[in-house]
Chains A and B, each alone.
Chain A
Amino acid sequence: MDTVLNILLWAVIGALPGFYVFFVKLYDTRLGVLIGAVLGVLVGVVGTSIGLIASPISAIATIFGLLVVGLLLLPQSAYPDDQKDNQQRRLITAVIGFVLLLFLIVGLTSILPADFPISPGLITIAVIVLFLIYVVPRGDFDNQQSNAQRISNLAYALTLPTVLIVTGIVIFPVIWNVIFSLRDISVGDLRDVELFDLREITLDNFEAQGGFRFDAVPCEMDDSGTCILDEDGNITYVNPRRYFDDYRGYRETGAIDIGDTHYAIGVRNPEFYPMLIRTFMYTLVSSVLAIFFGLVAALVVREAFPGRAIFRGFLLFPYIAPVISVAFIWQVLLRQNGFVNGLLGTNTQFLSGNDTFLGVALPLVMVILFQTWRYFPFAFLFLLARIQAIPDDIYEAAKVDGATPIQRLLYVTLPQLRGVFGTLFLLRFIWTFNKFDDVYLLTGPIEQTKVIPVQIFESLFTEGNVGEASAVAVVMAGILAVTLLIYFRYFLVDEA
């Protein structure tokens, strides 16, 4: 059974580059898949079993290399005459090609000896350049093609580097992230681990963070099998803590009686769900506050006053300065013998400690204020641009109708801004949700301000648990996607 699976796996692995390579040059994908699959089985199964090829990755590199070399050796007459309608193909080709190219690079660097004189970075760049020359069909520009086709080829050539870099740096890591999240990998394994090994996939990483149980707990029984009652006549249940200990480190957080059954709730990581809620809350509040202060600032700057140009420059300071230096100055201002405490005559630990404000941990409040301070200029820029685009005659008309300044603000200006509010909230929500460095640099990795990105970083660097870090990253991307879907579906104001 294993052998069959192995052959199938290698056939698929080989078919992919086969499909791709033939797509580019011959447009005969069926033949490509067939040849690729055969090559895959030959190189993958035979090559690795007789020890000719060291690892699956070098096998993939070999397959790809053989296909490319084979095609280059093909005589010109083998190429089809009919090459019309190939723009989309080229686009897809470029993307798949880059993914395969990275396979090749990783394979290449893993088979190179450690003391190879040329650095892998240089090889990577060289391979990318060669690839560009190979894929971008330069010759096509002078062929007897239609004008539209020449233009479209030119357009692909001009955009290709950008598309390749952006998709290569994003799509590929995303795939890997999912693979890592399904495997038990720690930082120490990274040098030797097979990156595409899917043989030992497991959901352990997800369980270790979000594992949740809701179990009916049995009662303590005497020898005859009846439940033991305590002095008040209540049934005694098995201690949930002891009960959950049997399930790989689940911890009990509560118990509830439904009908005659006693349920106990257990989680693997008691900090996981509070962390999700904290991230959500902090993102929401910071986004709204940043937009609010941005609006106030935009309303202030709307009309001219002496020094307005300089004032506008000041307003952007928090946004343009390096996060590390503004995080430091906040730390210094807020420390125990710092300016703020000196001014208030207090001795509060703003960025650590267990004080709360309105029920929220004080360090988290500070992080929210920090985010608000740092990003209100962003909202300010957007809102100011929109406010200045509102035509004056609307205000004149409102004035003639007797609207006072407050009424003009509430019934003229604000409704005009609805669309910008929608877009701004979306952008701020996403970026705050994803933000790592602001939080981490301001308070460090303390429990009170631990949000999802910080948790990912901590799992990766402090615990060295790549698998769990990736799992949290997948959860985070999932939450973001769901939130955005809900937002687009129900909340987004439909205006440019």
Chain B
Amino acid sequence: MASMTQTNQTQKVWTREEIESLAGRIIKWILIVFFAVITVFPFYWMLNLSLRPEQDVLTNPTKLFPSGEDISNTLHPVGCWLRYGTDDPEENPAVPADCTNVFSRSSYTIVLVQQGFPPFIGNSVLLALLTVSLTLLLAIPAAYAITRLTYQGRNAMSWGILLIYMFPAIVLAIPLFVVFTRTGLAGSLEGLVIVYLSGTLPVALYMLRSYFVTIPPDLEEAALIDGCTYASTIWRITIPLATPAIASVALYTFMIAWNEFLYAFLFLFTQRDRWTLPLGLQQLNDQEVPVTALMAGSLIISIPIIVIFFFFERFLTRGLTAGAVKG
């Protein structure tokens, strides 16, 4: 009874625990806002600038939103392009008056039509898919061997490959450039895929290995005893069990191949028809294109990777931490 009256009389005393956790909560929300802004804002800004006319971008550098008119002005030519494929009535008589000579007015049609980005998209997709499928094709059997089969040099092999992964890309670039020029592989996507494989295989192997060791080998052993061959054991047992890891390897490999710039620049520079998206975008900068088109291009190459990532974030996060992925 006495203690109760005491509490009622004196003002509530804040303990250090309470002060700190209150402060912690405030700081936490400040930080959440801070991180959200610094991570999302640059991408929002790409969108914002790509939708506004260049003159507006130059005179109002801090304008936060495009007007509705700006948006429809930018998107209308894209619609024309999708419907008619051209803005020239002489090429396609069906082009109506409001679609005539509009491609230079929209940042997106400048990039997609006038600068000819669609082939680059095709090259990038092809390159990324080739890299992904070859990586999986080679890394899955290798990871199986490293985790499931005993042989001499097993540890040396897995650590050696990881060590090689640390090697500076630029140090390898000069000799590879020379060899590729000599062998005629320069300017070919197949050559570039081989170089990418040297970067993706070690990670893939490492990520798959750390997942395979968590799967108990009982099922595979049972299959082998029942007379399955190694090939069908890998195909029917190991691969289905390791689907999450394989998915994350596929995603990560896709990301490497999609984003890669240095080797694409070195090996494909002279062959414009084989350029990848990052290379095409970088070269855009050297020409007299408006900054809004640069932003549209940046957004076009970022969106696929961000969308894919958002759908499969869980896989990728797990894979990234498991494999000590390069960046």
- Interface on A for B, CB 8 Å cutoff? 87-88, 91, 102, 105-106, 109-110, 119-121, 124-125, 148, 151-152, 154-156, 158-159, 161-163, 165-170, 172-174, 176-177, 180, 190-191, 195, 296-297, 300, 305, 311-326, 328-330, 332-333, 337-339, 341-343, 373-375, 377-378, 381-382, 385, 404-406, 423, 427, 430-431, 433-434, 436-437, 441, 453, 456-457, 460, 466, 469-470, 473, 476-477, 480
The contact sample of 11 A-B pairs, CB cut-off 8 A, is A105-B183, A119-B184, A166-B202, A172-B179, A323-B261, A326-B42, A332-B49, A456-B174, A457-B173, A460-B177, A476-B168
Q: Which of B236-282 contact A (CB under 8 A)?
A: 255, 258-259, 261-262, 277-278, 281-282
A367 CB, min distance to chain B CBs, angstroms: 16
Assess the A311–B36 pair: CB atoms within 8 A: yes
A49 CB, min distance to chain B CBs, angstroms: 25
B307 CB, min distance to chain A CBs, angstroms: 11
A484 CB, min distance to chain B CBs, angstroms: 8
Task: Give the distance in Å from the alpha carbon of A460 to the alpha carbon of B174 in the complex.
Answer: 8
Of A312, A337, A373, A437, the residue contacting B38 (CB under 8 A) is: A373
Assess the B255–A121 pair: CB atoms within 8 A: no
Of B20, B153, B170, B175, the residue contacting A172 (CB under 8 A) is: B175
The proximity string for B residues 223-235 relative to A, scoring 1 for CB distances below 8 Å and 0 otherwise, is: 0000000100000
Task: Name the residue on B nearest A167 (C-beta).
Answer: B164
Assess the B152–A88 pair: CB atoms within 8 A: yes
Task: Name the residue on A nearest B146 (C-beta).
Answer: A159
Assess the B138–A332 pair: CB atoms within 8 A: no
- Interface on B for A, CB 8 Å cutoff? 16-17, 20-21, 24, 28, 31-32, 35-36, 38-40, 42-43, 45-46, 49, 58, 61-62, 138-139, 141-142, 144-146, 149-154, 157, 161, 164, 166-179, 181-185, 188, 190-191, 194-195, 197-198, 201-202, 205, 230, 255, 258-259, 261-262, 277-278, 281-282, 285, 291, 294-295, 297-299, 301-302, 305-306, 309-310, 313, 316-317, 320-321, 324-327
CB neighbours of A163 from chain B (8 A): 142, 157, 161
CB neighbours of A385 from chain B (8 A): 321
Interface centre among B168, B170, B173 (most CB of A within 10 A): B170
Secondary structure at chain A's binding surface: helix, strand, loop or mixed?
helix
Interface centre among B38, B152, B177, B205 (most CB of A within 10 A): B152
Leading 3 A-B pairs by shortest Cβ distance: A325-B298, A169-B198, A173-B175
Task: Name the residue on A nearest B313 (C-beta).
Answer: A313
- Given the known interface contacts A165-B194, A190-B181, the answer about A177 and B313 at a Cβ–Cβ threshold of 8 Å is no
Assess the A156–B151 pair: CB atoms within 8 A: yes
Task: Give the distance in Å from the alpha carbon of A369 to the alpha carbon of B144 in the complex.
Answer: 41
- Given the known interface contacts A473-B171, A477-B168, the answer about A169 and B176 at a Cβ–Cβ threshold of 8 Å is yes
CB neighbours of B138 from chain A (8 A): 161-162, 165
Task: Name the residue on A nearest B285 (C-beta).
Answer: A328
Assess the B281–A325 pair: CB atoms within 8 A: yes
Assess the A109–B174 pair: CB atoms within 8 A: no
Secondary structure at chain B's binding surface: helix, strand, loop or mixed?
helix
A83 CB, min distance to chain B CBs, angstroms: 15
CB neighbours of A314 from chain B (8 A): 35-36, 39-40
CB neighbours of B188 from chain A (8 A): 119, 121
Of B28, B43, B327, the residue contacting A431 (CB under 8 A) is: B327
Task: Give the distance in Å from the alpha carbon of A345 to the alpha carbon of B157 in the complex.
Answer: 57
Task: Give the distance in Å from the alpha carbon of A129 to the alpha carbon of B281 in the complex.
Answer: 36
A375 CB, min distance to chain B CBs, angstroms: 6
Task: Give the distance in Å from the alpha carbon of A162 to the alpha carbon of B172 in the complex.
Answer: 18
CB neighbours of A191 from chain B (8 A): 181-182
Assess the A311–B190 pair: CB atoms within 8 A: no
Assess the B151–A152 pair: CB atoms within 8 A: yes
Assess the B179–A173 pair: CB atoms within 8 A: yes
Assess the A322–B168 pair: CB atoms within 8 A: no
Task: Give the distance in Å from the alpha carbon of A328 to the alpha carbon of B205 in the complex.
Answer: 33
Assess the B295–A329 pair: CB atoms within 8 A: yes
B255 CB, min distance to chain A CBs, angstroms: 6
Interface centre among A159, A174, A305, A476 (most CB of B within 10 A): A159
Task: Give the distance in Å from the alpha carbon of A427 to the alpha carbon of B161 in the complex.
Answer: 15
A338 CB, min distance to chain B CBs, angstroms: 5
Task: Give the distance in Å from the alpha carbon of A207 to the alpha carbon of B5 in the complex.
Answer: 86
B288 CB, min distance to chain A CBs, angstroms: 16
Of B142, B153, B306, the residue contacting A317 (CB under 8 A) is: B306
CB neighbours of B301 from chain A (8 A): 322, 324-325
Interface centre among A154, A325, A431, A456 (most CB of B within 10 A): A325
Task: Give the distance in Å from the alpha carbon of A401 to the alpha carbon of B146 in the complex.
Answer: 47
- Given the known interface contacts A88-B152, A316-B313, the answer about A190 and B178 at a Cβ–Cβ threshold of 8 Å is yes
B270 CB, min distance to chain A CBs, angstroms: 12
Assess the B161–A124 pair: CB atoms within 8 A: no
CB neighbours of B164 from chain A (8 A): 166-167, 170
Task: Give the distance in Å from the alpha carbon of A168 to the alpha carbon of B150 in the complex.
Answer: 24
B188 CB, min distance to chain A CBs, angstroms: 5
